Chain A
Amino acid sequence: MSEDSKSKWGMVIDEDLCTGCQACVTACAMENNIPFVGEQDAAYGRGMHWIQVQRFWEGEALEVSTSFQPVMCQQCGSAPCEPVCPVYASVHSEAQQVNSQIYNRCVGTRYCANNCPYQMRVFNWRDYELPDPLNNQLNPSVTVRRRGIMEKCTFCIQRIISAEDRAKSEGRDVTDGEVVPACAQACPADAITFGRLDDPESRVSKLAKSGRGVQLLEELGTHPKVTYLKGGSR
């Protein structure tokens, strides 16, 4: 197994189950202290959601079919964002095998975002204040970012680490399904599955190998940790 295709945590998203309800987007914003940028900035492409439900239409008017594709950072094994950062703000986490953004190191060159083929990095264009009473629900386990910093989906690393800590203190391994990121927790259709890819018995491993799985822009060789399931029910 090459260095790039090493994996630990991974995700499977069933596009056939996704209804495009955006619950994952909301839950992610709540969990990760993602600010509201306001209508104007959001319309101009500055929305800061770490997960985006991308809509695709097929066919001519009146006979249009819509498909939804929730996309977040694909946590590439060979991530194009990592080598281009001049200050090591975008680095690979060996312990979790995910791509981490170190907010404190970021100087805001935005090269990583340009080089991300999935366009899934978001930038703090301004200092955003959460309006009252939302400022009371900030998650204490997640850093609040200020202007000029790049950020992106972390696979809810705070939940992964707390589960790992709990398991360690109880002297056991993390069980399958113990770590649930906010998007998966909120999904009413249960389209998002999360777990250990290096455990062949986990739900996520089995789904990823079910034959319906595709990875986004696979041809680029980025080794993403997210697999999309498609074409089963239609």
Chain B
Amino acid sequence: MTTAAKSESHIHEEHEDLREHLMLDPKPRGEMNAMVMEAMHTTSWKFKLTAAFLGLVVAVCLFGAWGYLILEGMGVAGVNRPSYWGIFLVNTVFWIGISHAGTFVSALLRVFKAEFRRPFTRAAELMTTFGLVQAGLSIFFHMGRVWLSYWLFPYPNERGLWPNFHSPLSWDFLAINTYLLASTMYLFLPLIPDLAMARDRSTGWRKTLYRILSLGFRGTEGEWAHLRTAMNIFAFAILPVMFSVHTIVSWDFAAATRPGWSSTIFGPYFVVGALHSGIAAVAMVLVVVRATMKNMKYFIRKEHFDALGKLMLIVSMGWAYFFFNDYMVQWYGGDKWTDALLHFHEAGPLGWMWMLMLVFNVAVPWLTLWSRKIRTTPGLLFAIGLLINVGMWFERYVIIPISLTINRMPFSWREYKPGVEIFLGIGTLAFFILLYMIASKVIPLVPVWEVQEGQMAHSLRKFGKARVPTVSEIE
């Protein structure tokens, strides 16, 4: 501690700029804990008003419209022949994409010990869980007889029937369930020490809640050792699950006998697409959290936006590579139905969507994110993240309803016009934000112990006249 205090004073004198880094700008534990608790407890009238508004939107657009859809049938949505799948599945793929960022940022960066991840792993993990909730809901909206959806579960039943394991939808169902369970546990494990911290500092119902959830964690050496082992196992195990989920989602399309869909590169293309929208969404959430929640300016800094901006740029390049690869081979193949479809993508009535997809997913990040100044301006990063997410939503829209318009029987070519799907889409967005807002007030949004651990591991060493930040191995 004395060395840390000493180096802190040195930073003050000589290296003011190094304190821009959270890891080199330590605060006493008690103070940091109090900051996180305060952020959790403070609710402004703006927060309450927003939450009430979102609650209303969820009640009307999500549950109201869903009830109407169930009672009336799929006819109130825009799906038709040949576009049997519409915005519901666009949203499913989109939300599963959003959910990928949490695991990616948290597990992959943890495995590779990327230090900038520390203050926002939880903010990202929450997106995984809540994004998957929206994806699951969208699948249920989509089903013609949702009241029988439990038939997809492999359970012993009087009909003597298992689900059809030949169907990509069965794989999908199992993959999404696995991912939801695994990511929820992975969210919960690093939360335990923070819940214990919160338990020791609260009263009333919160105390009861945290006491139950923290599972009696007291912070002994043995408990930490077990927790670290469990987290390590989960961080490694959840990565293949993450890759498999979106690959299997892509197989729903790639395994079908449709022009434009039967593409062998859809698996990695979808995974990279998921990361593209997901990381952009993490950046957006962090901008909002930093701007609206108390004490967050200490935890979330320019360096984090900088790092996320770089990730967004790299993933955008990856997406462009896979897009080109997919397009090139389909176009070169010269199949007449695929040619008709590609022409319809670019020059059909919704050609503008295809063009904007490329502008938002490739041109915008490539032209802006190379600049550190733009990366570290939260407002700009938010705008870029929003455009990327719109672009990725367009990508899924192009792949699903627009591609379904063209098939091998020209007599049945017909355009798709969305109906009640729009309301349900807005409803899931509002539900996602609402769940996130509630969670930010119920659980500590910053993994305090991870930040403290990182700060302990970081120190400034003196080499000649220069002071060099060093990181020591903790585990």
Interface of A with B (CB < 8 Å)?
41, 44-47, 52, 54-56, 71, 80, 83-88, 105-111, 113-115, 117-119, 122-127, 147-150, 217, 220
CB–CB A148/B145 < 8 A: yes
CB–CB B84/A54 < 8 A: no
> Residue A126 contacts which of B73, B84, B145 (CB distance < 8 angstroms)?
B73
Give residues 70-100 of B contacting A (CB, 8 Å). Answer: 72-75, 79-85
Chain B residues in 8 Å Cβ range of A108: 74, 143-146
| A46-B75 contact in complex given A113-B84, A123-B81, C-beta closer than 8 Å | yes
CB–CB A87/B257 < 8 A: no
CB–CB B73/A148 < 8 A: yes
**Which residue in chain B gives the minimum CB-CB distance to A120?**
B409
Chain B residues in 8 Å Cβ range of A84: 166-169, 255-256
Q: Complex: how many Å from CA A149 to CA B148?
A: 11
CB–CB B145/A106 < 8 A: yes
Q: Complex: how many Å from CA A122 to CA B74?
A: 13
- Given A45-B83, A109-B144, 6 more A-B residue pairs with CB atoms under 8 Å apart are A46-B75, A86-B152, A105-B159, A110-B84, A115-B257, A126-B73
Most buried by B among A84, A87, A109, A150: A109
User: Smallest CB–CB gap between B137 and chain A, Å?
Assistant: 15
**Residue B462 interfacial (CB < 8 Å):** no
**Residue B161 interfacial (CB < 8 Å):** yes
CB–CB B143/A80 < 8 A: no
Q: Can you report 26 A-B residue pairs in the complex whose CB atoms are below 8 A from each other?
A: A44-B80, A45-B414, A47-B81, A52-B411, A55-B411, A83-B164, A84-B167, A86-B164, A86-B169, A88-B164, A108-B145, A109-B142, A111-B169, A111-B252, A115-B257, A118-B409, A119-B408, A123-B74, A124-B73, A125-B74, A126-B74, A126-B75, A127-B73, A147-B144, A148-B143, A150-B144
Give residues 39-87 of B contacting A (CB, 8 Å). Answer: 72-75, 79-85
**Which residue in chain B gives the minimum CB-CB distance to A217?**
B408
Chain A residues in 8 Å Cβ range of B152: 86-87, 107
Chain B residues in 8 Å Cβ range of A47: 81
**Residue B440 interfacial (CB < 8 Å):** no
Give residues 255-279 of B contacting A (CB, 8 Å). Answer: 255-258
User: Interface 1/0s, chain B 402-440, versus A by CB < 8 A?
Assistant: 001001110110100100000000000000000000000
4 tightest A-B CB contacts, nearest first: A108-B144, A148-B144, A147-B73, A125-B75
User: Smallest CB–CB gap between B77 and chain A, Å?
Assistant: 8
Q: Complex: how many Å from CA A220 to CA B407?
A: 13
CB–CB B81/A80 < 8 A: no
**Which residue in chain B gives the minimum CB-CB distance to A55?**
B411
Q: Complex: how many Å from CA A220 to CA B408?
A: 11
CB–CB B145/A114 < 8 A: no
User: Smallest CB–CB gap between A144 and chain B, Å?
Assistant: 15
CB–CB B409/A119 < 8 A: yes
| A54-B411 contact in complex given A117-B257, A148-B73, C-beta closer than 8 Å | yes
| A105-B81 contact in complex given A85-B167, A115-B258, A148-B74, C-beta closer than 8 Å | no
